[in-house]
Amino acid sequence: MEDNKKTEVVFTEEQEALVVNSWNAIKKNSGELSVKFFKRVLEIAPPAKQMFSFLRDSNVPLEENPRLKPHAMSVFLMTCESAAQLRKAGTVTVRESNLKKLGATHLKSGVKDEHFEVTKQALLDTIKEAIPEMWSTDMEKAWGEAHDQLANAIKAEMHANANKAET
């Protein structure tokens, strides 16, 4: 039986600063980075293309896909925002309606828990490549924790949706 207590995450001011400062350094190139991010996801896990409705039946190169950049941007932005929320609230605070939609969409697309590791690695690789002069083990841990907490919130909503579908 699972209790409903939230595990408080200790996300330090330094970790938040690492994520926010690096995001500020890369966001001007976020369109280009979003394409690199998706290319990295597909390098790590080529079958992932089938999980994205806007990529599944598309023969358009990634760089020309009109829906790719906005989607990837939302991943970067939500991860960055979750870092700031982690420090302030001790938990990811995505609007409940957004979280429910994310959970339902990821469940419908067939996303499994292990797929989040692919997006995490692609995110970290993309940021490291974009700002190698700023990259550090501490920055990697900060972005990784921000990603993991957001992923955990989405996974919890996916599991809640799956349980509702079973009843």
Eight-class DSSP state of 110: T
All domains in the chain, ordered by first residue: 13-166 (1.10.490.10)
Amino acid identity, residue 73? M
Amino acid identity, residue 66? P
Q: How far apart (Å, rounded) are the C-alpha atoms in residues 117 and 108?
A: 19
Q: How far apart (Å, rounded) are the C-alpha atoms in residues 119 and 26?
A: 18
pLDDT, one tens digit per residue, over 98-142 is: 666 776 676 677 677 788 899 899 999 999 999 999 999 999 999
Q: How far apart (Å, rounded) are the C-alpha atoms in residues 146 and 92?
A: 9
Mean pLDDT along residues 139-166: 82
Backbone angles phi, psi at 118, to 5 degrees: -65, -45
Amino acid identity, residue 18? L
User: Half-sphere exposure (CA, 13 Å, Cβ side) for 20?
Assistant: 14
Cβ–Cβ contacts within 10 Å for residue 141, how many?
A: 13
Location of structure tokens 């690492």: 18
What is the pTM (predicted TM-score) of this model?
0.80
Contact indicator for 148, 120 with CB cutoff of 8 Å? yes
Closest CA to 143 of 16, 35, 12: 16
Mean pLDDT along residues 10-31: 87
